[in-house]
Chain A
Amino acid sequence: MLLTLLQAPPARPAASGPPPLTCADSSVTTLGDLSLHCVDLVPVPDVTTMSGYAELDYAPTPYGIPVTREGVVRWQVRMRLSGLRHRPSPRWIGGPHYVAWVAPPSMAPLIRLGRVRNGANLVGEVALPVFTLFVTEEADTAPATMGKLLLRAQSPSALMQPHGSSRLPAREAGAHQHGAWPMPPMHPRVTSMPPGLEVLQPDATPWWPSATPVPTAPPAAAARGAARARARPARGAPANAPPAPPDAEAIVLGAKDTAVLVTAPLARTLAGRAFTGYAWNGRVPAPTLRATEGLRSTLRVVNALGEPTTVHWHGLRHDWRQDGAVGLSQEPIAPGATFTYRLAFPDPGLFWYHPHLREDRQMDLGLAGTIRVAARRDDWLAPVDAEHVLLLDDILLGDSTVYPHGAERPTHALMGRFGNVITVNGAVRPELALRAGQVVRLWFANAAGVRPFNLAFEEPLPMKLVAADMGRMEQERRVDVVTIAPAERWAVDVRLDQPGRYALVNRVLGVDPVQQAYFPQVDTVATLVVSAADTPAAPTPAQRGFDALARHDEETDRFDAWRDAAPQRELLLTLQPTGLPIGLEQAMRADTQYVQPVEWVGTMPMMDVLSTPRQARWILRDVASGKENHEIAWRVPRDGVQKVRIRNDRHTLHAMQHPIHLHGQRFVVLAVNGRPAADRAWKDTVLVPAGATVDVLVWFQNPGRWMLHCHVPEHLASGMHAVITVGDEEGR
C-alpha cells in the first residue's frame, strides 16, 4: 500500500481534475526515444492546474539529420498543453495569451516562438545545442520580454554529464606509459582525457602495411575463376611483379573490354606525413569507373596486397555473386590472386566501390573509388555546364606516419575510427577550377568510415539537391547544406554567378567529452576557384533552367499506402559490452546521460582506440525473432515490398549513429520518428541517429543473398550484419 502511494507522482497541492500531462501520456506521437525526443513542461510552484510536454522531432530534411549551416541540429518543437485557462481580466482585452519562448542557458538571446493554446501546438523550429523552453502568460500576443512564467523545460541535452562529474579531474594527455601502441593524436580542442586511460592498450598488435607488393598470378589464369570459386594464385605461378596498371583518372567501362584494377601498396605523402597506403592502379582515390545505364561489363581485380581482399560495388543492383561480400557471395581474393567481376549497371547516378574485408584498414588506407553511371536519357536530370565527383574521406595520421591499425582485428570498435585529416579525392583541400556563369553539378560520396559531413559554401551559393544514392530526388529542392553520412551519395547543382574563390566548408559541432561542451569544428575541405567568363555569353540552358525545381516520377508514390501501415520487420541497433577495460567503461558511462543524435567529430582518441570486437559486440536484432546479426536470415519473395523499422537503441553503453546499408536493393525513407519524410529518393544507405526510429520501404526486386549492415567498418567487424535472401536460395 505504501509502495503504491509512493509510486504515484506527488500530488499537486490544491489540484483536482485530470492528472498532469507528461511525456508518459498516450498522446505522445514521436517514435523517437522519449529521453531524447520529449521533455515535460514543469509548472512553476504557484501554478497547479497547467501541465504539458514538448516533443522534439527532427525538422524536415532530405538528409539523415537536419542541421543548420553551423552544424546545429534543427528541432521541430511541438507542445501539448493542458489547463491553460482563459481568465477574464480587466487588464487584458481578449487575454490572457499564452506564449512559448526558447533561450540558451545564458538566457540570451530570448526567442519568442509564438502563441500556444491548450492541446497540440506546432511551435516551430529550435536550433540551439542546449536550451530551455518557456510558456508564459502575456497581455498581448507579441510581447518583447517574458511575462509571468508558467511552464518550463530543459532540452534533453541539458542532461549531458561531463566526465568531471565523477568528481575526478581529467589527466593531461601526453604523460602516458604506452607500450607498443603510440599515443593516438589528440583532437586539438580536447587536450585532456579521463584519468587512467593512458596505461591501457588495445587488445591487438599495431600493424602497418608492407610496402612490398606480393607476386601475382598471370591475369589470364585467374580471370577464368568462377564466381563462387575460391580465388587463389595459380599453382606454380612465377614470382612476377603485378601488372603495371593503366594510369588513368577514369576507366570507361565497355561491354566487351575487361578493365583491370590492381590492388597494391602505394607510398603516399599526405599532410606532411609519409606512409604506405593501399591503392587500386596506384591512385587514391581509385580510378572513377564510367558506365552507361544498362551496361554489363567485366572487371578483373588483381590482389598484390599481403592480405586477402574483395571489391564490393556499392549500390549496384546486379548479380549477387558479384557483390564482393565475403562469406556470403564470394571467398576472399588471396594475396597474389585475381578475381573477375561481371558487373551490371541498371541505375544511373553515382555509386562507389571498396573492399568488403577489413574495411577498417583497407578502405582507410585508400581503397575507395566512385562509379559514375550516365543516364541513357539526356533529360534524366536538368542539363549542367560542368560536373565534378567529390569523394570525401578522412584518415588518422600520427606525428610522422599513419596511425597503426590492428593486426588481428580492428581497434576503435565502439566509436569507429575518425580520421584527423580530411581529404577530397585523396587530396587535402583541393581546388576545382570552374567558370563564372556555369551551373556545376557536384556529386558527393562519403568514403569515410564513420565521419558524417555537413558541407556548405562559406559564401552561400544557390544550390539545389537533385539526386541521392540510387536516383533522382522525386522533388528537387533548394538546400543550404549537404549533410552526408558514410557511404551515402548526394548530388547538388550549384550556380556560379560571380568569379571568386568559394570555400566548401564542413561545419559541425564537436563535443569536448571531459566538459561535455559543444564547440564548432570548421574545416575547409575544398575550394571552387571560379574564373571570369571569357566573354559575356548568353545564359546557358543550365542557367536558364536552374530556378526550376523539377518533380520526377520515381514510382515511389505507389508506396503511399505503406505510410501508415505497421512495419513487417523491425530491427533494433544496440550494443553489448563484452569486457571493456574498467577505465574505458567508466568514461563511456559518463556519456550515457545524454547522447548526441550524431557524433560528428572524434574527440576521444584514447578512448576510441582501446576497444576491439572482442570487447564490444554491436548488434542488429530482429525484434520479432530475437535473432541477432549473422543469425538473422530473412527470406523475402522476389519483388516483395516490405516496411522495415530500424530503431537505434539510445540506452546502451555507447549509443551513436549507424549508417545502415542494404546491398543490391533499393529503398525509400518513409518516416523518421513517426513523422513522414519530407523528401523521397531511392537509397541504399540510411543514417539512423542515436535514439531515432527510421522506417524504410524496401523494394526487394533483385534476387539473391544480400547483406544488410552498418557501414561503419568497426561496427560491421563487431557483428552488425544480417543476411536477406530475396527469391529462392539460388537467387532466382
Chain B
Amino acid sequence: MTGAWWARAAVAAVAVLGVAAPLGAQAYEQLGPQAKAYVTVPEPVVALVGVSVVDGTGAPPKAEQTVLIERGVIRAVGPSASVAVPAGARRMELAGHTVLPGFVGMHDHTFYTTSLRSTQMNVTGPLLYLASGVTTIRTTGSMSPYSEINLKRNIEAGMVAGPRMHITGPYLTGAGAGGGMHALVTPEDARRVVAYWASEGASWLKFYTLVRKDVLAAAADEAHKRGLKVTGHLCSVGYRDAVDAGIDAVEHGLFANSEYDPAKEPDKCPAGFEAKYTTLDVNGPEVQRTFREMIRRKVAMTSTLAVYELFVPNRPPLEQRVLDAMSNDVRNEYLTTRARLAEPGAFAISPAVFRKAQEYEVAFVRAGGLLACGVDPTGNGGALPGFGDQRNYELLLEAGFTPVEAVKIMTANGAQVLGNARIGTVEAGKAADLQVIRGDPVARPAEIRNTTIVFKDGVGYDAPKMIAATKGLVGVR
C-alpha cells in the first residue's frame, strides 16, 4: 500500500512540476551553437556587483546591491558590502546599472501582425523577447499552434535562444467565427478540443470574443481537470459571467469587458461597446462589483496597453529601433497606417477611452486585483515583441502606477498567474531570470529600453547582439 501511495505522490509531483516549471535549469553547456552564439555570460557562477535592484516583490528599489547567481539560481541578493563573491565566480562590476526580474509577458504571441500581414515569428520573436528582458511568455492564442509547439521544443532543447514558453494552442471562440479561430459551438466541442490541445502540450487555453458562457464553463471545467487554465479576450461573455464560468484570467482590461454596455445581451458581443465607456466610473459600484468577484475567485487581468496605444492618434512614439527591426515592407505598412490614423474612416481609439482603460487597471489593483502585463504584438504592427513590453512599463506609469508597482505587475504578478513560484522576483532561491539595464528606469522610465544582458537560468545573453540579429527581419521570419 505504502509503495502505491508513494508512486501516486511521485506522479502527482511530477505533474505539478511539469506545469509549474516546464524546465529545469538550462546550463550553457546544454545549449546548441545557435543559442550559444548570443551568450555573453556563460560562467556558472556570476556576481552582478554594485547594481540597483527592483526585485519585483513590491519592495522599494535598493542601491549598491550584489546579485549572486550560481548554476542557474539566485544564490544571494544584498548590499554589495555584505554579499561575498566566491572565488572563481565571474565578477561583473555594474555600477550605474539596474537589475530587474525577467519580465513575464502574459500576452506575448509568437505571431506578429501589421494591417497587411500575419507572420509566425520563430526567428525574431524569441530573440526580441529575450533581448528586451522578457524571460517567460504565455502565448495567449496562436495562429500557427503547431509551429509554436515546436518553437517551444527548440527553446527547451537549447537549439534556439528564447524565453520560457507557456503555450495556449489556437484561439478558441464561439459559433460565427472561422479561420484560425476554432469555433466551439457546444460544451461537448469544448471538452473534446480542450482534451486534444492538452495532449498537444498546451498549459493554458485562450478564448476569443464569441464564446458562449456554457461553452466557456465546460472548457474551464475540462481544463481544470487536466491541470490547465483558461483565459480570454472576451466580448460575448462579460467579466462577471466569465468569473462565474470558471475562467482564470481575462485579457486586455476594459477594452474587452462588454458588461457595462447597456445594450449587452447574454452571449452576444455588442459592437463598439468600449466607445461608450468615456464616462464610466471606475470607482462606482458596478465596476467595483466586477473587481470584487474577480478577486474573490482569484481571476487575474492582463494589461496590454501598448497594442491599444497604436490606435490612438498621435500617440505611439516613433522608435528608431522598432523601424530598424522591421522589414522594408513592414516599415512602410506601419508608417503609412500610423500617419493616416487621424484620417476620417481610420480605425482609431479615442484618447478618452484609452485613459479610461488605464484608470480601470489602476482601480483594479487598488481594489486588490492581480494585474499582469503583456505586449500583444498585433494590431497595426508597432508593438514589437519585447519592445512593446518595455513600452508597457511607461504606459503603466502613465496610468498611475509607481515604478515599483509596474515592475511587479510585469514580473512577479505574471509568475503568480502562471503558478510558477521559481520565477518573477530577484530573491535568493529563485531561478536566475534577470535583466540588467544600463541606467535607472525608476528615475528615468525611458531607460527601461537599455537592456544589456538578460539572464535566463543564469546564462547571460547579449541583448544588443540579439536585437542586431533581428534587424530588418520582423514581419518576415
Interface string of B155-191 (1 = CB under 8 A from A): 0010110000000001000011111111111000100
Shortest distance from the beta carbon of A606 to any chain B beta carbon, whole Å: 10
Q: Which of A1-9, A238-246, A561-569, A629-637 contacts B (4 or more CB under 8 A)?
A: A1-9
Asked if B178 and A511 make an inter-chain contact with CB atoms under 8 angstroms apart, the answer reads yes
Q: Which residue of B lies closest to A14 (CB)?
A: B157
Asked if A586 and B123 make an inter-chain contact with CB atoms under 8 angstroms apart, the answer reads no
Asked if B146 and A152 make an inter-chain contact with CB atoms under 8 angstroms apart, the answer reads yes
User: Which of B32, B333, B469 is the one whose CB lies under 8 Å from A6?
Assistant: B469
Shortest distance from the beta carbon of B304 to any chain A beta carbon, whole Å: 8
Asked if B178 and A515 make an inter-chain contact with CB atoms under 8 angstroms apart, the answer reads yes
Shortest distance from the beta carbon of A438 to any chain B beta carbon, whole Å: 42
Q: Which residue of B lies closest to A512 (CB)?
A: B176
Query: Given A166-B115, A168-B311, A195-B347, A517 and B177 touching (CB < 8 A)?
Result: yes
Q: Which residue of A lies closest to B471 (CB)?
A: A3
Query: A366 in the interface, Cβ–Cβ < 8 Å?
Result: no
Chain A residues with Cβ under 8 A from B354's Cβ?
none
Query: A19 in the interface, Cβ–Cβ < 8 Å?
Result: no
Asked if B113 and A165 make an inter-chain contact with CB atoms under 8 angstroms apart, the answer reads yes
Query: B143 in the interface, Cβ–Cβ < 8 Å?
Result: yes
Q: Which residue of B lies closest to A158 (CB)?
A: B180
Query: B399 in the interface, Cβ–Cβ < 8 Å?
Result: no
Q: Which of B11-19, B314-322, B375-383, B417-425 contacts A (4 or more CB under 8 A)?
A: B375-383
Asked if A169 and B271 make an inter-chain contact with CB atoms under 8 angstroms apart, the answer reads yes
Query: B340 in the interface, Cβ–Cβ < 8 Å?
Result: yes
Chain B residues with Cβ under 8 A from A167's Cβ?
252, 255, 307-308, 311, 376, 378-379
Q: Which residue of A lies closest to B337 (CB)?
A: A586
Asked if A516 and B177 make an inter-chain contact with CB atoms under 8 angstroms apart, the answer reads yes
Secondary structure at the B interface, as helix, strand, loop or mixed, is: loop
Query: Given A169-B271, A196-B348, A164 and B185 touching (CB < 8 A)?
Result: no
Query: Given A45-B153, A515-B210, A105 and B115 touching (CB < 8 A)?
Result: no
Query: A720 in the interface, Cβ–Cβ < 8 Å?
Result: no
Shortest distance from the beta carbon of B52 to any chain A beta carbon, whole Å: 32
Asked if A200 and B180 make an inter-chain contact with CB atoms under 8 angstroms apart, the answer reads no
Chain B residues with Cβ under 8 A from A105's Cβ?
170, 182-183, 193
User: Which of A2, A161, A195, A653 is the one whose CB lies under 8 Å from B180?
Assistant: A161
CA distance A194 to B154 in the complex (A): 39
Query: B400 in the interface, Cβ–Cβ < 8 Å?
Result: no
Q: Which of A489-497, A587-595, A698-706 contacts B (4 or more CB under 8 A)?
A: A587-595
Query: A162 in the interface, Cβ–Cβ < 8 Å?
Result: yes
**Considering residues B150, B252, B255, which has the most beta carbons from chain A within 10 angstroms of its beta carbon?**
B150
Chain B residues with Cβ under 8 A from A3's Cβ?
469
Query: Given A107-B196, A165-B113, A169-B235, A594 and B179 touching (CB < 8 A)?
Result: yes
Chain A residues with Cβ under 8 A from B252's Cβ?
167
Chain B residues with Cβ under 8 A from A582's Cβ?
337, 340-341, 343, 345-346
**Beta-carbon contacts under 8 Å, B113-127 to A:** 113-118, 122-123
Asked if B347 and A194 make an inter-chain contact with CB atoms under 8 angstroms apart, the answer reads yes
User: Which of B175, B193, B344, B473 is the one whose CB lies under 8 Å from A107?
Assistant: B193
**Beta-carbon contacts under 8 Å, A28-60 to B:** 42-45
**Beta-carbon contacts under 8 Å, B368-409 to A:** 376, 378-380
User: Which of B114, B177, B308 is the one whose CB lies under 8 Å from A515?
Assistant: B177
CA distance A516 to B123 in the complex (A): 28
Asked if A159 and B32 make an inter-chain contact with CB atoms under 8 angstroms apart, the answer reads no
Asked if B170 and A11 make an inter-chain contact with CB atoms under 8 angstroms apart, the answer reads no
Q: Which residue of B lies closest to A197 (CB)?
A: B345
Query: Given A105-B193, A108-B189, A170-B271, A45 and B32 touching (CB < 8 A)?
Result: no
Shortest distance from the beta carbon of B411 to any chain A beta carbon, whole Å: 24
CA distance A585 to B252 in the complex (A): 25
Query: A199 in the interface, Cβ–Cβ < 8 Å?
Result: yes
Q: Which residue of B lies closest to A105 (CB)?
A: B182
CA distance A220 to B113 in the complex (A): 66
Query: A185 in the interface, Cβ–Cβ < 8 Å?
Result: no
Query: A692 in the interface, Cβ–Cβ < 8 Å?
Result: no
Chain B residues with Cβ under 8 A from A200's Cβ?
344-345
Chain B residues with Cβ under 8 A from A159's Cβ?
118, 143, 179-180
CA distance A647 to B366 in the complex (A): 59
Q: Which residue of A lies closest to B114 (CB)?
A: A589
CA distance A200 to B176 in the complex (A): 27
**Beta-carbon contacts under 8 Å, A159-199 to B:** 159-162, 164-172, 192, 194-197, 199
Chain A residues with Cβ under 8 A from B196's Cβ?
107
Chain B residues with Cβ under 8 A from A581's Cβ?
343-345
Query: B355 in the interface, Cβ–Cβ < 8 Å?
Result: no
Shortest distance from the beta carbon of A566 to any chain B beta carbon, whole Å: 31
Asked if B347 and A106 make an inter-chain contact with CB atoms under 8 angstroms apart, the answer reads no
Query: A10 in the interface, Cβ–Cβ < 8 Å?
Result: yes
Query: B201 in the interface, Cβ–Cβ < 8 Å?
Result: yes
Interface string of A444-469 (1 = CB under 8 A from B): 00000000000000000000000000
Asked if B34 and A168 make an inter-chain contact with CB atoms under 8 angstroms apart, the answer reads no
Shortest distance from the beta carbon of B342 to any chain A beta carbon, whole Å: 9
CA distance A555 to B465 in the complex (A): 66
Chain B residues with Cβ under 8 A from A160's Cβ?
178-180
State which size class the interface on A falls in.
Answer: 35 or more
Asked if B180 and A517 make an inter-chain contact with CB atoms under 8 angstroms apart, the answer reads no
Query: A584 in the interface, Cβ–Cβ < 8 Å?
Result: yes
Asked if A6 and B273 make an inter-chain contact with CB atoms under 8 angstroms apart, the answer reads no
Query: Given A13-B153, A166-B347, A108 and B192 touching (CB < 8 A)?
Result: yes
CA distance A586 to B274 in the complex (A): 20
Query: A154 in the interface, Cβ–Cβ < 8 Å?
Result: yes
User: Which of A2, A517, A589 is the one whose CB lies under 8 Å from B176?
Assistant: A517
CA distance A2 to B33 in the complex (A): 11
Query: A518 in the interface, Cβ–Cβ < 8 Å?
Result: yes
Asked if A130 and B337 make an inter-chain contact with CB atoms under 8 angstroms apart, the answer reads no
CA distance A512 to B178 in the complex (A): 9
Asked if A11 and B32 make an inter-chain contact with CB atoms under 8 angstroms apart, the answer reads yes
CA distance A46 to B60 in the complex (A): 45
User: Which of A107, A158, A171, A583 is the one whose CB lies under 8 Å from B271?
Assistant: A171
Query: A157 in the interface, Cβ–Cβ < 8 Å?
Result: yes
Query: B362 in the interface, Cβ–Cβ < 8 Å?
Result: no
Chain A residues with Cβ under 8 A from B51's Cβ?
none
Query: Given A42-B146, A589-B116, A517 and B183 touching (CB < 8 A)?
Result: yes
User: Which of B269, B345, B468 is the one whose CB lies under 8 Å from A199?
Assistant: B345
Chain A residues with Cβ under 8 A from B278's Cβ?
none
Asked if A45 and B201 make an inter-chain contact with CB atoms under 8 angstroms apart, the answer reads yes
Q: Which residue of B lies closest to A584 (CB)?
A: B345
CA distance A590 to B114 in the complex (A): 9
Asked if A516 and B311 make an inter-chain contact with CB atoms under 8 angstroms apart, the answer reads no
Asked if B37 and A2 make an inter-chain contact with CB atoms under 8 angstroms apart, the answer reads yes
Query: B209 in the interface, Cβ–Cβ < 8 Å?
Result: yes
Shortest distance from the beta carbon of A314 to any chain B beta carbon, whole Å: 36
Asked if A583 and B345 make an inter-chain contact with CB atoms under 8 angstroms apart, the answer reads yes
Q: Which residue of B lies closest to A106 (CB)?
A: B189
Asked if A589 and B115 make an inter-chain contact with CB atoms under 8 angstroms apart, the answer reads yes
Interface string of A493-513 (1 = CB under 8 A from B): 000000000000000000110
Asked if B379 and A515 make an inter-chain contact with CB atoms under 8 angstroms apart, the answer reads no
Interface string of B234-261 (1 = CB under 8 A from A): 0100000000000000001001000000
Shortest distance from the beta carbon of A568 to any chain B beta carbon, whole Å: 33
Chain A residues with Cβ under 8 A from B192's Cβ?
106-108
Asked if B159 and A13 make an inter-chain contact with CB atoms under 8 angstroms apart, the answer reads yes
Shortest distance from the beta carbon of A516 to any chain B beta carbon, whole Å: 4
Chain B residues with Cβ under 8 A from A11's Cβ?
32, 34, 159
CA distance A608 to B274 in the complex (A): 26
Asked if B34 and A515 make an inter-chain contact with CB atoms under 8 angstroms apart, the answer reads no
Chain B residues with Cβ under 8 A from A166's Cβ?
115, 311, 347, 378-380
Query: Top 4 A-B pairs ranked by shortest CB distance?
Result: A160-B179, A583-B345, A517-B178, A105-B182
- Known A106-B182, A584-B345; 11 more pairs at CB < 8 Å: A45-B149, A45-B153, A106-B184, A152-B146, A158-B143, A168-B311, A169-B235, A516-B179, A581-B344, A582-B340, A592-B116
17 A-B pairs with CB atoms under 8 Å apart are A2-B465, A6-B469, A45-B149, A106-B185, A130-B178, A154-B145, A160-B178, A161-B143, A167-B252, A512-B178, A516-B179, A582-B343, A582-B345, A583-B344, A589-B116, A593-B179, A653-B116
